[in-house]
Structure 1
Amino acid sequence: MYTILRQHIEKIVPLTNEEYEQIQTYFTFKKFRKHQFVVQEGNAVEQEYFVLKGLLKAFYINAEGKDHIIQFAMEDWWITDYQAQINRNPATLNIDCIEDTELLCITFERKNELCQAFHKMEHFFRIKSAYGYIALQQRILSFLNNDAQSRYTQLLRQYPALFQRVPKALIASYLGVSRETLSRF
């Protein structure tokens, strides 16, 4: 299972066997069942999660009780409520499992220790954060500049596997449209 993490890290920085043996000790392994919450609104967020297997969604519930999906996370992706974790605030997002899920978890403190011990990992997380910021910026610009059908086509082109694993109602929520609107595409 940790081999997946090593391959993920080595897309950005090379590691020796000795380095990786030490790096993996900073992570813990957890399993979650379908529909189980990993993070719940109002609770403390202690960890960041790397998806080994499964699929999760991060969502916000507005004052009217409507779900707004912020992010999906499948294998080889990271997820948490970063605002809550870094600022030590209660979670504003919920993260639950769309499928049975296996995660590698790292606390904020352990991540800082890891980055201090291995400059390569500090570089790795800096690059991953930049990629995450780019993805978020592209998502915001897509909402500002594209109609719903264009956003749907772009998501389908970028992540075709997502459409095989995620119910259409969740895709609609992610795109900010109704299920009925999505069915017309």
Structure 2
Amino acid sequence: MDRLRKHIEEITPVSDEEFEHVKTFFTLKRIKKHQYLIQEGEQVNFEYLILSGIFRMFYLDHEGKEYIVQFAGENWWMADYQAYFNEKKASLHITCMEDAEILCLTLYGREKLSSDLHKMEHFFRVKLTKGYTAQQRRIISLLSSSPQQRYEEFGQLYPHMMQKIPKKYIAEYLGVSRETLSRLYSNNKGK
């Protein structure tokens, strides 16, 4: 739970007493590689703070084609938020790409924590705002950047993930073929 406190205190300080209250809302869970956190059609009861590991969130169309929405690593929050906040069934999948540890938080817990401690409401607002702006940046990048620019941006923003995520998934995320990704990788090697 020390990692949770450190994570929260990157945004707002909490006293020992406050943190004792905060940690009662979280449940630690260990996830194995290839295990699903969420599958389409399931009820989404938790959002997750990733303590270790990497996860892939994706959408499957009616033909079974996968579209990667995001990757998430250490200190990232992740859920099918449309389902989580609206208490609906998932339209996305989230799977673990390497053994991981996560903290689970229910919507009720999040709301109660936010009403109990204003600083936690502030914390969650800051985290949601950062997540929203990252998603918006990704959409704009997909719409307006070249494959080379998207590749370079991904490498700059997430260098640790570039080394751990299979190239197949990076190519899907960037919206390019595996062959194009190989060319982009070769072009950047000399830089």
Q: How would you bin the TM-score normalised by the shorter chain?
A: over 0.9
- What residue is the counterpart of 1:8 in the other structure? 7
- What residue is the counterpart of 2:32 in the other structure? 33
What's the secondary structure of 2:62's corresponding residue?
A: coil
Q: CA separation in 2, counterparts of 1:163 and 1:136?
A: 18
- What residue is the counterpart of 1:94 in the other structure? 93
How far residue 5 of structure 1 moved from its aligned partner, in angstroms, is 1.0
Aligned residues: 184
1:29 maps to a residue whose letter is: L
> Is residue 110 from structure 1 mapped to residue 83 from structure 2 by the alignment?
no
TM-score, normalised by the number of residues in structure 1: 0.97
Superposed, which structure 2 residues align to 1:73-152 within 5 Å? 73-152=72-151
> Is residue 64 from structure 1 mapped to residue 63 from structure 2 by the alignment?
yes
How far residue 22 of structure 1 moved from its aligned partner, in angstroms, is 1.1
The two structures, once aligned, show a CA RMSD in angstroms of 0.8
What's the secondary structure of 1:184's corresponding residue?
A: helix
What's the secondary structure of 2:89's corresponding residue?
A: coil
How far residue 184 of structure 1 moved from its aligned partner, in angstroms, is 0.9
1:155 maps to a residue whose letter is: F
What's the secondary structure of 2:24's corresponding residue?
A: helix
Tell me the alpha carbon deviations over residues 49-105 of structure 1, each in whole angstroms, 9 at most, x when there is no partner. 000111111000112211111111111111000001111221010000000111000
* Unaligned residue ranges in structure 2 (runs of 5+): 185-191
Q: CA separation in 2, counterparts of 1:103 and 1:163?
A: 21
What's the secondary structure of 1:58's corresponding residue?
A: strand
Moved over 2 A (4+): none
- What residue is the counterpart of 1:167 in the other structure? 166
2:152 maps to a residue whose letter is: T
Superposed, which structure 2 residues align to 1:46-65 within 5 Å? 46-65=45-64
Q: CA separation in 1, counterparts of 2:112 and 2:87?
A: 18
TM-score, normalised by the number of residues in structure 2: 0.94
Tell me the alpha carbon deviations over residues 139-173 of structure 1, each in whole angstroms, 9 at most, x when there is no partner. 11111110111101000011100011100001011
